[in-house]
């Protein structure tokens, strides 16, 4: 069994429609590559109670919880406080985190003021996640990995973090583009899927230039089984494939 | 108080990183326009137990729950079954939904086979949601609004559905682009926010061509208050604005 994971995205700006999240999709692709199964995603607003509850539920239900957003210097950045409360750990300025910030701001000639120092508050027992973009670190505490919301920083933190997590078997997938309506594909596909309980069969319809079709995706850990099922699928729809 | 809402997106293809969801962002913008507050979003896989639990939790916690995905004709389309189970309502082929499908497929000369007929299965007591794109309807049952995952169809269903929901006061927002690091903005912004407990103040950092800045967004139902707060914010950072 692969390790399981959830992602929690924190931010009013996503729920209000102002910003379109991209971190979920990025993380989903990275986790698939290393064999960690992303099982749930949630987006909650910048409100303490909502974050605390989601952190508790998701960290208890999965091997890993990744969070995105709310670790900057402004008053609406409350993720570190919420994660510390959810896990019952004290939160305070940590010297190694402060030193990272001090060095970063010294280089830029910018004072490490009270607001910026908030970014050095780390829950007890956490391990820092390096931020090569803007210095202020993320952190892993228990099975919760707390990262920034700005996509460039989130992506850099994921790159810092993933090598120290134990992955599983990457899910392999093959897909077939079939130029028939899903209503034609459904019957034969269900019968085929019943022969391969170890694989997952998904059908994703599209409509293009007036023609109906579907991408059928077969996923599984065993490449030979995926390939065998795909060969049978292709034989069921020999003249309908395209591209 | 505005009505509250959640969205539940159902689909392995989103969590596996294969597809990037766009329906959440679309719905967030539409709801903001009509004054329904989107408070949470979740993405779960095509698994019965996960969908049932999320439908129960989210429909109990909010005035509306909107779902996206899993109502097509294939074996992995189990949303109607899961919603019926979550709400304890029987699910069966309904004659008006069958008639809509029959007319649609008659026009195209395509048989209404067993797989396609699955799309006429509607929980007891539901109201249909029109689908002008591909006929197969969505439905509202209790406070749960069940719609397709294909973005063009989801968007058309939202357009069919929203006029019959009671909205609230649309949230107004004004934003200011400030060319200073968030660490400079944080202190004065927190002090200003404390003077306006009825408004929400968000700060969204960016980095562009080596310069740090933030979009500060002030949101609230009362346009005059938002305007007043924005005037004070702009006076705090007179020479830093851009764009």
ipTM of the complex: 0.90
Contact state of B183 with A45 under an 8 Å Cβ cutoff:
no
Contact state of A219 with B182 under an 8 Å Cβ cutoff:
no
Could you give the CA distance from residue A198 to residue A115 in angstroms, rounded to a whole number?
A: 52
Query: What is the structure's pLDDT at A205?
Result: 87
> How confident is residue B241, by pLDDT bands cut at 50, 70 and 90?
low
| Residues paired with residue A66 on neighbouring β-strands, in sequence order | A7, A145
Could you give the CA distance from residue A99 to residue B134 in angstroms, rounded to a whole number?
A: 59
Could you give the CA distance from residue A134 to residue A156 in angstroms, rounded to a whole number?
A: 10
> How confident is residue B27, by pLDDT bands cut at 50, 70 and 90?
very high
Contact state of B17 with A29 under an 8 Å Cβ cutoff:
yes
Residue B30 pLDDT > 80: yes
Contact state of B73 with A13 under an 8 Å Cβ cutoff:
no
> How confident is residue A208, by pLDDT bands cut at 50, 70 and 90?
confident
According to DSSP, residue B162 is labeled G
CB pairs under 8 A between A and B: 184
Interhelix angle A48-61/A79-87, nearest 10 degrees: 50
Residues of B in contact with A190 (CB under 8 A): 74-75, 115
Residues of B in contact with A200 (CB under 8 A): 12
CA-based nearest residue to A138, from A187, A201, A87, A94: A94
Q: Which residue has the tokens 């294969």?
A: B18
**A228: CB partners within 8 A, 6+ apart:** none
Query: What is the structure's pLDDT at A156?
Result: 96
- Tell me the domain boundaries of chain B: 4-164, 172-236
B116: distance to nearest CA of chain A, Å?
5
> How confident is residue A243, by pLDDT bands cut at 50, 70 and 90?
very low
Residues A2-19 have a mean pLDDT of 94
State chain A's mean pLDDT as an integer. 94
A208: distance to nearest CA of chain B, Å?
11
CA-based nearest residue to B11, from B150, B155, B152: B150
B171: distance to nearest CA of chain A, Å?
9
Could you give the CA distance from residue A46 to residue A69 in angstroms, rounded to a whole number?
A: 9
Residues of B in contact with A206 (CB under 8 A): 150
B4-164 matches B172-236 in fold = no
Q: Does residue B72 contact residue A205 with C-beta atoms inside 8 Å?
A: yes
Contact state of B193 with A45 under an 8 Å Cβ cutoff:
no
Residue A241 pLDDT > 70: no
Residues of A in contact with B50 (CB under 8 A): 39-40
Query: What is the structure's pLDDT at B243?
Result: 45
CA-based nearest residue to B186, from A78, A188, A156, A202: A78
Q: Does residue B28 contact residue B5 with C-beta atoms inside 8 Å?
A: no
Of B45, B74, B206, the CB nearest to A185: B74
Query: What is the structure's pLDDT at B211?
Result: 79
From the candidate CATH numbers 3.30.559.10, 3.40.50.1820, 1.25.40.10, 3.40.980.10, the one assigned to the domain spanning B4-164: 3.40.980.10
Q: Tens digits of per-residue pLDDT, B51-81?
A: 999 999 999 999 999 999 999 999 999 999 9
Query: What is the structure's pLDDT at A102?
Result: 97
Contact state of B45 with A31 under an 8 Å Cβ cutoff:
no
Residue B98 pLDDT > 90: yes
Contact state of A16 with B73 under an 8 Å Cβ cutoff:
no
**A194: CB partners within 8 A, 6+ apart:** none
Q: Does residue A66 contact residue B184 with C-beta atoms inside 8 Å?
A: no
CATH architecture group of domain A172-236: 2-Layer Sandwich (3.30)
Considering A177-181, A211-215, B125-129, the range whose residues carry the highest mean pLDDT is B125-129
What is the helix (H) or strand (E) element at residue A157, kind and residue range?
helix A151-161
Of B73, B183, B190, the CB nearest to A182: B73
Contact state of B76 with A110 under an 8 Å Cβ cutoff:
no
Alpha-carbon separation of residue B134 from A181, A205, B177 (angstroms): 11, 11, 43
Q: Does residue A8 contact residue A42 with C-beta atoms inside 8 Å?
A: yes
Contact state of B116 with A150 under an 8 Å Cβ cutoff:
no
Query: What is the structure's pLDDT at A240?
Result: 62
Residues of A in contact with B116 (CB under 8 A): 183, 186
Cα Rg, chain A, nearest whole Å: 22
Residues of B in contact with A185 (CB under 8 A): 74
Q: Which of A75, A206, A208 to probe the B interface (max B CBs under 10 A)? A: A75
A25: distance to nearest CA of chain B, Å?
6
Query: What is the structure's pLDDT at B1?
Result: 82
End-to-end CA distance of chain B: 34
CA-based nearest residue to B180, from A3, A113, A80: A113
Residue A242 pLDDT > 60: no
> How confident is residue B218, by pLDDT bands cut at 50, 70 and 90?
very high
Q: Tens digits of per-residue pLDDT, B205-216?
A: 887 777 789 999
Q: Tens digits of per-residue pLDDT, A85-103?
A: 999 999 999 999 999 999 9
Residues B101-112 have a mean pLDDT of 94
Residues of B in contact with A42 (CB under 8 A): 40-43
Query: What is the structure's pLDDT at A195?
Result: 96
> How confident is residue B169, by pLDDT bands cut at 50, 70 and 90?
confident
Residues of B in contact with A41 (CB under 8 A): 14-15, 41-43
């Amino acid at each position: 069994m692969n390790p399981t994971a959830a992602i929690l995205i924190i931010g009013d700006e996503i729920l209000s429609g102002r910003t379109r999240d991209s971190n979920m999709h990025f993380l989903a692709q990275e986790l698939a590559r290393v064999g960690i199964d992303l099982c749930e995603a949630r987006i909650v607003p910048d409100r303490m109670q909502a974050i605390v509850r989601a952190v508790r539920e998701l960290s208890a239900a999965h091997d890993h919880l990744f969070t995105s957003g709310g670790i900057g210097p402004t008053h609406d950045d409350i993720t570190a406080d919420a994660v510390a409360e959810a896990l019952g750990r004290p939160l305070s300025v940590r010297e190694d985190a402060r030193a990272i910030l001090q060095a970063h701001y010294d280089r830029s000639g910018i004072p490490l003021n009270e607001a910026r120092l908030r970014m050095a508050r780390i829950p007890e027992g956490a391990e820092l996640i390096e931020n090569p973009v803007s210095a202020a670190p993320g952190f892993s505490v228990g099975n919760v990995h707390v990262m920034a919301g700005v996509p460039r920083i989130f992506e850099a933190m994921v790159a810092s973090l993933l090598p120290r997590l134990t992955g599983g078997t990457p899910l392999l997938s093959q897909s077939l583009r079939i130029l028939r309506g899903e209503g034609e594909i459904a019957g034969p596909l269900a019968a085929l899927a019943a022969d391969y309980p170890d694989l997952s069969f998904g059908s994703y319809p599209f409509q293009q230039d007036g023609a109906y079709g579907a991408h059928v995706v077969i996923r599984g850990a065993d490449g030979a089984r995926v390939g065998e099922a795909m060969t049978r699928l292709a034989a069921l729809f020999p003249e309908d494939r395209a591209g």
